[in-house]
Amino acid sequence: MDFTYDDEQQALREAVRGLLATTYADHEARRRTVADDPGFDRALWGRLAEMGVLGLPFSEADGGVGAGPVEIGIVCQELGRVLAPEPYLSAVVHAGGLVAAVGTAEQKADLLGRLSAGEIVLAAADTSPGGRWASRADGVRASVSAGSWTLDGVADPVMGGASADHLVVTAALPDGGTGVFVVDASAAAVTGYVAADLTRAASVRFEASAATPLGEPGRDLSPSIATISDLTRIMGANQALGVMQSQVRATTDYLKSRKQFGVTLNTFQALTFRAADMYVSLELAHSTVDWATMTIAGGDREVVADAADRVGLQVSRAARHIGQEAIQLHGGIGMTAEYSVGVGTAHLTVLEQWLGNAGHHLTRLAARVTDHEMVDAI
């Protein structure tokens, strides 16, 4: 039982923080980057690859580094801290995670090797228009004829989809169940758009698009899909934690420096108390994020699924509280795209609705609430 980072983990954090600071030293740099396609910095992406960060979750046999969940969580926190628009969560954690979970040895070595090296970008297409966080595909259908697979239907939103070379698609199988396929981006109609936090998503239409099944063709892979979604949720919570830490710090600094009525804002207790409550939300979320991240190492899917719901609920609530208060306590400047705090709230909003909002997680937890007498941390 230990909540502290070891020296290597600290070193990783500092290295990633240092690298991100070369590109996103201030919010203005992020604004410039997201203003143009592809919406992230390809040079930085390459340097993340060189540093081994893109291969962190994958085994060495697959061309990765074989690091643990705590290390991946650290990277996500650092990306969140500077609101980095790089598609790490969508390309590496989510799409790469799907390939690692269900691909054959050759598929993994090929796709994950190139992903880790920064040669290709992947995106996971697992949401249908109007769909809500299901591990069962209903927007895209797979068909097979003479051993060749094709996909039809629409996936939207596909996070990071506009700049992906290959799409990792969940699709309904002809005989029931959900399979996972790789589709070359050129085989689908990809329409990119800008999400609420100015990162990029896409609407993808498949029309008899040629697809390669990942793993054994025709097998129902929904349990693995659900697990990878859970892991992505937990890593998304790490990213949200980084954002919230920055917001609490920025708000505290602002209260100490902004003057109104001839005094700095921290003279007003009504405001300092609200900042204290933000800190309480932050610390409780932080504890839950660390815990959920640590449950992954145990390898039990059900434990991880439960942790994903718990951290999803806790972090969604904290994100609303901290994100909204950060804007409010900044006043007008908090509303501007020029300033990081409000954009951070936009990013928290996107993470939440992409990975599952509080209501979704609470519904799932409420369904299981009589299965246990009490919930124990350890």
CB 205 within 8 A of CB 189: yes
> Does 365 contact another protein by CB under 8 A?
yes
Nearest to another protein of 210, 365 (CB atom):
365
Considering the rule CB under 8 A, would residue 70 count as an interface residue with another protein?
Answer: yes
If one asks whether residue 76 binds another protein (CB under 8 A), the answer comes out as: no
Is residue 54 at the binding interface for another protein, with CB under 8 A as the rule? no
Using CB under 8 A, which of 11, 43, 276, 337 touches another protein?
A: 276
**Does the footprint of another protein cover residue 370 (CB under 8 A)?**
yes
Residue 263 in contact with another protein, rule: CB under 8 A? no
CA 200, CA 140: separation in Å to the nearest integer? 21
CB of 13 to another protein, least distance (A): 12
| Binding-site member from 290, 335, 349, 353 for another protein (CB under 8 A) | 290
Helix, strand or coil, per DSSP, at residue 113: helix
Per-residue exposure over 256-275, b if at least 16 CB sit within 10 Å of its own CB, e if not: eebeeeeeebeeeeebbebb
Which of 168, 283, 300, 319 binds another protein (CB under 8 A)? It is: 283
Give the integer Cα–Cα distance in Å for 168 and 123: 6
Q: Which two tokens stand for residue 70?
A: 């705590």
CB of 376 to another protein, least distance (A): 8
| Residue 76 or 140 having the CB closest to another protein | 76
Q: What is the largest CA-CA distance in the chain?
A: 79
d(CA 337, CA 348): 15
DSSP string, 310-358: HHHHHHHHHHHHHHHHHHHHHGGGGG-TTSHHHHHHHHHHHHHHHH--H
- The per-residue b/e assignment along 96-116, b for 16 or more CB within 10 angstroms, e otherwise, is bbbbbbbbeeebbbbbbbbbb
Tell me if 2 contacts another protein by CB under 8 A.
yes
Total chain residues near another protein (CB under 8 A): 50
Instruction: Point out which span in 124-132, 161-169, 345-353, 357-365 binds another protein (CB under 8 A).
Output: 357-365
- The pair of structure tokens assigned to 210 is 């040629």
When binding is defined by CB under 8 A, the residue of 92, 159, 313, 327 that contacts another protein is 313
Torsion of CA 158, 139, 101, 85, to 10 degrees: 10
260 lies in the binding site for another protein (CB under 8 A): no
Judged by CB under 8 A, does residue 270 bind another protein?
A: no
Distances (CA, A) of 161 to 78, 185, 230, 364: 22, 9, 20, 28
| 362 belongs to the binding site for another protein (CB under 8 A) | yes
Tell me how crowded residue 369 is: count the other CB atoms within 10 A of its CB: 9
Does 208 interact with another protein (rule: CB under 8 A)?
Answer: no
Residue among 153 and 236 whose Cβ is closer to another protein: 236
Q: Which stretch binds another protein (CB under 8 A): 121-129, 155-163, 285-293, 339-347?
A: 285-293
The owner of tokens 């951290």 is 311
Q: Does 375 bind another protein (CB under 8 A)?
A: yes
What residues line the site for another protein (CB under 8 A)?
1-5, 9, 70, 248, 252, 255-256, 266, 269, 272-273, 275-277, 279-280, 283-288, 290-291, 293-295, 297-298, 310, 313-314, 362-363, 365-370, 373-378
